[in-house]
Copies of this chain bind each other. A is one copy, B any other.
C-alpha cells in the first residue's frame, strides 16, 4: 500500500506530539490571543515565529504567513521551508469543560461548535483571530487518552 521499502522491525519509540503549527497574518495579534484567552506562555518570539507553551511537552508554533517558505540555513543546520493557508485545525487536551466554557465567555470568544463524542469526552470549538479552528477536548474522545 505504501510506496518504499518494507521495514520489518518495529519503529523506534515516539513520545507524542511536540509541535503543531498555524500560519497567521499578525504575530503579535495571534500571540496575544493565545496568551490572553488560553493563558499560554511565550517561549520564543522572533520576526517569523512565536512559540507558545501548550502544556506538558507541547508547543504551538505561530508562523508569520508568507515568511517561512524558504529553507533556513544556520550554524546548526538546515530547517526546510514550509507554508500553509486556510482555516487549519488543532486541539488542546483539557479537563474541566465548564471552566473553559466560562473562560471563553468571559474573554468574549464565541463558540463555533460543540460535540459530545460517541466514545466519551466533549469538545468545544472556537476561532482564533486568523480563523483557525481551535478545539478544547476532555478525555475519552480517543482510545489513547
Contact = CB atoms under 8 A, between A and B. Distances in A.
A2 B32 contact: yes
A123 B74 CA distance: 13
B87 A85 contact: no
B82 A133 contact: yes
Contact of A96 (B12, B19, B60, B71): B12
Contact of A55 (B3, B15, B36): B15
A116 B85 contact: no
Interface in A102-132: 103, 106-109, 112-118, 123, 125, 127, 129, 132
Interface of A: 1-7, 9-21, 23, 28-29, 32-33, 35-40, 43, 51, 53-61, 63, 68, 71, 74, 76-96, 99-100, 103, 106-109, 112-118, 123, 125, 127, 129, 132-133, 135-137, 141-145
